[in-house]
Structure 1
Amino acid sequence: MESNCYHCGNPCEEDTIVHDGKSFCCNGCKTVYEIFSENELTCYYDLTQNPGATPNEIAGKYDFLDQPSIAEKLLEFDDEHVQIVTLYIPHIHCSSCIWLLENLQKLQTEVSSSIVNFPKKTVRITYNSEAISLKEIVLLLCRIGYEPYISLEDYENGKKPIDRSLIYKLGVAGFAFGNVMLLSFPEYFEVDEFWLNQYKPMFRWIMFAMSLPVVFYAANDYFITAFKGIRSKFLNIDVPIALGISVLFIRSVFEIITEAGPGFLDSLTGLVFFLLLGKFFQQKTYNFLSFERDYKSYFPIGITKINLDGTEETVQVYDIEKGDRLLIRNEELIPVDGILIKGDAQIDYSFVTGEADAVTKQSGDKIFAGGKQTHGAIEMEALKSVSQSYLTQLWSNDVFNKNKDESFKNITDSISKYFTIAILLIAIISGLVWYFVSPEKAWNVVTAILIIACPCALALSAPFTMGNLLRILGKKKCYLKNANVLEQLAKIDTIIFDKTGTITAGNKMELSYEGVTISNEEEVLLKNTLRNSNHPLSRQLYSILKANNIVTLDSFEEHTGKGMEATFQNNSIKVGSSSFVGNATATETLKTAVHISTNNHYKGKYIFKNTYREGIPELFQELSSRYDISILSGDNESEKETLQHLLPNAVELHFNQKPSDKLEHIKTLQEKGKNVLMIGDGLNDAGALKQSNVGIAIAENVNVFSPACDAILDASKVKELAAYMKLSKTSIKIIKTSFILSFIYNIIGLSFAISGELSPVVAAILMPLSSISIVAFVTVATNMFGKNLK
């Protein structure tokens, strides 16, 4: 008796290999099973029956990966003992694939993480390159049946394979639909003569043959997605579609075999054709929106470029070219791969690798984009220009989404499940009623209900609304990470602002000095100490002080929320709060100031007079009527009286807040059920931005990009925040309105379908038309409301 392979499901034929009481078709499948058994991963087979693929013969196939020059082209990140590679795995097809590939560390302990992108069929693997090579990683994937597709030409030229499967399926369905309709004409017009006696059976079987590739090829995605949804105990929108196709096909086959009639193969092929046509239109439209967003939503990140004459200027990161010399300050992210020229580089690559330990680099070493410099300023030479796709990948890393998205459920998921259940119940009840009233109409009624009530329009409402609004907000210099951020913004009831660099204009501060005159030597040390810092006050003071010689400090350390200290040759300096520099008497004044001491002797302070951004009073007045507003500032209370006169009484003011205090304040509010929006200055407020429900970083021609934030807002657009918040709430209203329109359409369509007055093929035509009308509505509505933004 022939058995099937326990691993891949293929027939074992004559060469059956029995191991552990299970049959395998080859040694490859048996080896994979043994690997899983040894590593306690046999629950892989519980997720799907026969989920594996037969391992291909790979001996010597990947020897080319032993050449460093070739492997380097495939690697996304390569630094000391950590390498990251993203591989395309064509065999990824189900939940068991995802589960296995994301548990590679159980098969190979040197793999620290592996993340699957199911739509793109890729896996991003981070591993210890000192203990395992890229070739061994690839061979491991091959041994477990997930051989990657590697094309060096694609990697070198940045080419991506184009998925034309939908076009092919549309062509097959269109060809079959046209011919089946043609062969059905004699049936339509009830032609007897030659048709009745000689050709009717033959033509019916030809129509049946033409419908087979439509059902089993063109429509297979609907069956696969429906099956996966049911297996995951979730009724997705493809369940009723797959059921409708199945009902039509089974009924048609039954009628042809029993010669009871021609069946509904014309309706079946027409249904699939119009479904795919609607899907093709939807895909084209959504790809257009996504494409436009990809190229419009440039992150407003600046970086300091050092010119040949030694002068420094801030440039957009997308203006960086190979060979440019860049200054990376303390706590700034490295935007491009490059070579370290000078400075004490201690780089935190946790944004890239997930490992928080800083890596020390020496002059001449290669450093990688995405790392954060944590010990003073460094200078580097760029090896390439900035890749926006890389920044997008870094910003969208799942590591920074999990905490916020775990409890968040989008609006479509909230109602689609109940909608699908309701439609299935209506179809079943209507079918039973018609079976007793008029059995010949029962199948038509059930099929028409399942088709006309397909919740495609429902499922499209949110993606098209959010996608278009992301594009519109991008044009207004408000850049959101993804569509979920827009939905979360609509739920916000509490807003917290940082003060310095957020509601104050960093480039318009007035500065004065009080204290002992600083010598030229001390001013050089002060200037170079400030040069290392990314704090708004440090940058402001640095830009005002006269140019001095650039030197490499012997040591530098920045204490978050307190200040910084540095040494050069025999001199030391402290810059920051009065308590930090060691001058207790200076606390008597509440003015915003940066205090200085050199060689443990207090010198004086630079006093800042803040200038608030244009439109701040009006912004707070408008927001306070709808939200609870707070200001959390790390500065002292010198600005308290000014803020009390400037802002509404309802705004709470908290001063002397350390970054940890801000984070705990937000956490306390969330424990009380509040949905918190945090608006800060990027890296300095990274913890608070990550803890909040939505974190917005303000950008003002500086490198404030932080993966912890959910949105980046250009500083010139802070005054428009109320309008953006209002638009987020409007987006939910647009979606709900489109849902209502979809429900009205379904109610009208169902009334005809239940009454038996609607044929399946007409329903198949109306279904994509309803989707198109919903897409048109949300696009026009979002554009109309978007134009109202200033």
Structure 2
Amino acid sequence: MQALSLICFHCHQQVTEIGRYQTRILDEMQPMCCPGCQAVAEAIVANGLEDYYRFRTEPAEKADSMPDDLLEKLRLFDQPELQEEFVIHQGKTNQVQLSLDGISCAACAWLIEKKLARLAGIKQIAVNVSARRAIVSWYPQQVALSEIINAIEKIGYHAQPFHPQQQEENFKNTDRAYLKRIGLAGLMTMQVMMIAIALYFGLFGNLDEDIREFMHWISLGLSIPVVFYSGAVFYQGAWRALRSGGVNMDVPVSIAIWVLFIASAKATVLARGEVFFESVCMFIFLLLISRFLEHRARHKAAQISANMSKYIPVTATLVEQGNTRDILAKLLKTDQTVLVKPGETIPVDGQVLDGHSHVDESMLTGEFEPVTKTPGSEVYGGALNQSGTLTIRVLRPLKEAMVNQILRLQDEALLNKPAIAQLADRISSYFVLAVLLISALTFWFWHAQGNANAFWIMASVLVATCPCALGLATPSALTSAMARLNRQGVLLKRADLLEALCEIDTLAFDKTGTLTEGKFSLQQTINLSAHSDEMLLRLAAALESYSEHPLAKAFAPYAGTLAENVQVMPGFGLIGWIDGQEYRIGSQHLMSHPVPDSLSACNVLLADRNGILAGFVLTDQIRPDAAAMLKQLNHYQHCIISGDNQQNVSKIGQALQIDRLYSQCKPEQKLKKMQELQHQGQHVLMMGDGINDAPVLAAAQVSVAVGGATELAKNAADVILIKPSLTLLPVLFNMAKRSRAKIKQNMAWALGYNLLVLPLAVCGYLTPWLGVVGMSLSSIIVVANSVRLLKADS
């Protein structure tokens, strides 16, 4: 054995890195030349096939391996400078978010999690199939990031640190690949179908047998690119599932394709028997369209949320020894000092050292009214500085800023979301195993009886009971429902959400921007002067025209009078001169006279030198369609989870007759409240619009972002209302119920048909040709039933 130490035990090629790749075979450690051969050898051993090496007569072919340059590129991810971009340090462990390419179902996620869990140094691995991402926590002293990515590459998937732009590019590449496969399959299917129909119905007249065989050879040639290229996506998924010891929907699909194709090719070569090339091509074409529609829904959702990174600050003004210079925000370190001018985005979480200003934190808190910042106040990266200049001491680097914490909180909530099992996948997994067993027993029985048609009887069983209709039952209904919802202004990121909606029993709403319009308007004027209301409003509008405060916009319709020498008092209001008179507008703290009790409900006061003239009540308007939406969904439990104060939340709750109210909730408190509801056994749909809603949206069983929501809220949500109408929520629930009914009808038909034809095929009464016709009709019936969802009342 020593002489063999320099050659690979699997393929007998030269080993260049002795001792790096090894596998225990036949109770001895054997050298391998590359990770590809090592992976294949480990799979052979794991499946109890070691005798292959004992009895083989020649070495195996060299397994595919990653190029050396790719391995070197992966090692770049271990550099601390590069890891600063995307790795979060959590004490003794590190955490990274990876984009995954090539995953298609829950079995793929299971395989990745299972393989990485065996890797020494991995603390936790969680894969999100719909987002095609994984969050990995590991101990850097035991395993390197490059080894983690390498382990994923070795099992057939591609991983890299998550980046929004790169994720979008991956979607586009997949989109183009689907279009190529569908285009080829559609073109060839039309040609094969024309030949098959003409032969079946005698449209060519009485053909000689040689001409008929020639037509079969043409069909074979046209089918080969469809089977080998267009259908390859199914075989790759099936191979990964089988290699991991599981079965997914790609397995029965792949078996059906190859049984039909091989039987047809055999009949063509031997010039006897039936051919089923048109069924093979049609099956591949229909399934590709279904998967492409689901992929495009995810792609469109990704495009909508592609701008979420705009909330992450890019540059900052660093103050060093009295001088300033611009640097990247991500390079800022704790205790450094930065300068933030009016109109600029605050680069990191910090503490104000000097300056007074109004800061718009709506992208974090969801509340429209700015917050006054003075020395000692804490500010957050991503918030907008509206008025004064601030000098800030850095408390945390950018990657640990609140905006990034919310992003990570959202992703972790997504990974902890309960998985919705696909009923069709579970049934087909067991069904295909049963069919394979019955087919094998059928062949053995008829072959033992000396029946020359034993193979064709077995083929009839496989063809007639092929789970084509079962495979189309769920996706055809879901994609039809999604297409209908898209036309109505509702975008779903995942098709399985329609099933989850049927389990919802509680509706939770954010207040500002969701149940309300998110902008202030004048509700009441309390006049204490001799002036008319119109005159007071013109005075107020003249002063407020110099303010950037959101409350000031409520007075814009009354503008007309000009003010002079206006002073902005951050956190208090404005002082200015109009027609030679001094006026003040703002909070009670700006007033130089006592505020009467009659104005206690007013949030803006107007005064001159002689006293207070008037008070104004400004409120956020309830959306006009909110009450109608709640009335249509009155059989669900309702609650409000808001970051606004108790008084405002109570006012909205009373107006909309909602009793369960949770106010003054920060993002983490909203998430905790959601989890409490779920622990009580409630299935919750959450509707929101702000960045502060992102974690709770991700944690809900189903989440909805209203029209006009922030990009981050849209990214976290499962459903996006493209049109700004709350009445689309009842439409969504109605479609969910209709689609579930269609799925049940489709599966009942598909299973009923298979159970009906199975005994006929086993007994030899059903020819392969009739099996193909029955299978095709079964699939057409399922698709036709699903397409009815595109109609309004079907």
1:157 & 1:435 partners in 2: Cα distance? 54
Letter in 1 for 2:646: N
Partner residue in 2 for 1:683: 691
Q: Residues 165 and 500 from structure 1, CA distance in 2 versus in 1: closer, same or farther, beyond 3 angstroms?
A: closer
1:361 & 1:105 partners in 2: Cα distance? 43
Q: Residues 2 and 507 from structure 1, CA distance in 2 versus in 1: closer, same or farther, beyond 3 angstroms?
A: same
CA contact (8 A) 1:677 1:693 kept: yes
Letter in 1 for 2:622: Y
CA contact (8 A) 1:496 1:678 kept: yes
1:454 & 1:587 partners in 2: Cα distance? 79
Partner residue in 2 for 1:510: 522
Partner residue in 2 for 1:628: 637
Partner residue in 1 for 2:11: 11
**Aligned-partner SS, 1:483:** coil
CA contact (8 A) 1:177 1:273 kept: yes
Q: Residues 496 and 104 from structure 1, CA distance in 2 versus in 1: closer, same or farther, beyond 3 angstroms?
A: same
1:284 & 1:400 partners in 2: Cα distance? 31
CA contact (8 A) 1:54 1:145 kept: no
Structure 2, unmatched stretches of 5+, are: 50-59, 90-94, 197-205, 214-218, 349-362, 365-379, 387-406, 529-535, 574-585, 590-594, 607-612
1:278 to 283, 298, 305: 283
Partner residue in 1 for 2:427: 415
CA contact (8 A) 2:7 2:15 kept: no
2:661 to 654, 657, 662: 654
1:764-787 CA-to-partner distances (Å, cap 9, x unmatched) read 465355434423331x222113x7
- Mapping of residues 417-496 of structure 1, within 5 Å: 417-424=429-436, 426-427=438-439, 434=446, 439-496=451-508
Letter in 1 for 2:660: L
Q: Residues 694 and 765 from structure 1, CA distance in 2 versus in 1: closer, same or farther, beyond 3 angstroms?
A: same
Q: Residues 168 and 673 from structure 1, CA distance in 2 versus in 1: closer, same or farther, beyond 3 angstroms?
A: same
Residue 675 of structure 1 deviates from its aligned partner by 0.7
1:62 & 1:494 partners in 2: Cα distance? 49
Letter in 1 for 2:421: K
CA contact (8 A) 2:235 2:254 kept: yes
Partner residue in 2 for 1:234: 246
- Mapping of residues 698-713 of structure 1, within 5 Å: 698-700=706-708, 705-713=713-721
Q: Are residue 784 (structure 1) and residue 760 (structure 2) matched?
A: no
- Mapping of residues 137-148 of structure 1, within 5 Å: none
Q: Are residue 750 (structure 1) and residue 758 (structure 2) matched?
A: yes
1:44-89 CA-to-partner distances (Å, cap 9, x unmatched) read 98599999744545499989x99xxxxx9x9997899999997989
CA contact (8 A) 1:470 1:483 kept: yes
Residue 688 of structure 1 deviates from its aligned partner by 3.0
Residue 244 of structure 1 deviates from its aligned partner by 6.8
Q: Are residue 334 (structure 1) and residue 341 (structure 2) matched?
A: no
Q: Residues 400 and 604 from structure 1, CA distance in 2 versus in 1: closer, same or farther, beyond 3 angstroms?
A: farther
1:608 to 614, 618, 622: 618
- Mapping of residues 505-584 of structure 1, within 5 Å: 505-507=517-519, 509-511=521-523, 527=547, 530=549, 539=550, 544=555
Partner residue in 2 for 1:672: 680
CA contact (8 A) 1:102 1:113 kept: yes
Q: Are residue 376 (structure 1) and residue 383 (structure 2) matched?
A: yes
**Aligned-partner SS, 1:699:** coil
Q: Are residue 401 (structure 1) and residue 427 (structure 2) matched?
A: no
1:693 to 689, 696, 701: 701
- Mapping of residues 124-135 of structure 1, within 5 Å: none
Residue 732 of structure 1 deviates from its aligned partner by 0.9
- Mapping of residues 13-162 of structure 1, within 5 Å: 21-24=28-31, 26=33, 28=34, 53-54=64-65, 56=67, 58=69, 98=112, 160=173
Residue 678 of structure 1 deviates from its aligned partner by 1.6
1:494 & 1:454 partners in 2: Cα distance? 40
Q: Residues 165 and 294 from structure 1, CA distance in 2 versus in 1: closer, same or farther, beyond 3 angstroms?
A: closer
Residue 475 of structure 1 deviates from its aligned partner by 3.3
1:76 & 1:497 partners in 2: Cα distance? 37
Partner residue in 2 for 1:733: 741
Letter in 2 for 1:691: A
**Aligned-partner SS, 2:518:** coil
1:423 & 1:47 partners in 2: Cα distance? 23
**Aligned-partner SS, 1:677:** strand
1:178-233 CA-to-partner distances (Å, cap 9, x unmatched) read 999xxxxxxxx9x99xx9xxxx9xxxxxx999999999999887766555444544
Letter in 1 for 2:637: D
1:59 & 1:495 partners in 2: Cα distance? 49
Residue 341 of structure 1 deviates from its aligned partner by 8.7
Q: Are residue 724 (structure 1) and residue 732 (structure 2) matched?
A: yes
TM-score, length-scaled by structure 2? 0.57
Q: Are residue 767 (structure 1) and residue 775 (structure 2) matched?
A: yes
Q: Residues 124 and 620 from structure 1, CA distance in 2 versus in 1: closer, same or farther, beyond 3 angstroms?
A: closer
Q: Residues 463 and 366 from structure 1, CA distance in 2 versus in 1: closer, same or farther, beyond 3 angstroms?
A: farther
Residue 733 of structure 1 deviates from its aligned partner by 0.9
**Aligned-partner SS, 1:492:** coil
Q: Residues 104 and 43 from structure 1, CA distance in 2 versus in 1: closer, same or farther, beyond 3 angstroms?
A: same
CA contact (8 A) 1:98 1:118 kept: no
Residue 102 of structure 1 deviates from its aligned partner by 6.1
Residue 674 of structure 1 deviates from its aligned partner by 1.5
Residue 439 of structure 1 deviates from its aligned partner by 3.5
Residue 629 of structure 1 deviates from its aligned partner by 2.2
1:3 & 1:451 partners in 2: Cα distance? 52
1:277-306 CA-to-partner distances (Å, cap 9, x unmatched) read 42124314543565477459974x8xxxxx
CA contact (8 A) 2:345 2:383 kept: no
Q: Residues 646 and 295 from structure 1, CA distance in 2 versus in 1: closer, same or farther, beyond 3 angstroms?
A: closer
1:243 & 1:703 partners in 2: Cα distance? 43
Residue 362 of structure 1 deviates from its aligned partner by 7.2
2:510 to 498, 504, 509: 498
1:614 & 1:15 partners in 2: Cα distance? 73
**Aligned-partner SS, 1:420:** helix
Give the stretch that moved more between structures: 138-147 or 431-440: 138-147
1:468 & 1:25 partners in 2: Cα distance? 50
Q: Residues 86 and 286 from structure 1, CA distance in 2 versus in 1: closer, same or farther, beyond 3 angstroms?
A: closer
Identity of aligned residues (%): 21
1:62 & 1:643 partners in 2: Cα distance? 56
Q: Residues 684 and 29 from structure 1, CA distance in 2 versus in 1: closer, same or farther, beyond 3 angstroms?
A: closer
Give the stretch that moved more between structures: 209-218 or 746-755: 209-218
TM-score, length-scaled by structure 1? 0.58
Residue 662 of structure 1 deviates from its aligned partner by 4.3
**Aligned-partner SS, 2:749:** helix
Count of residue correspondences: 637
CA contact (8 A) 2:517 2:623 kept: yes
2:185 & 2:338 partners in 1: Cα distance? 53
1:267 & 1:475 partners in 2: Cα distance? 47
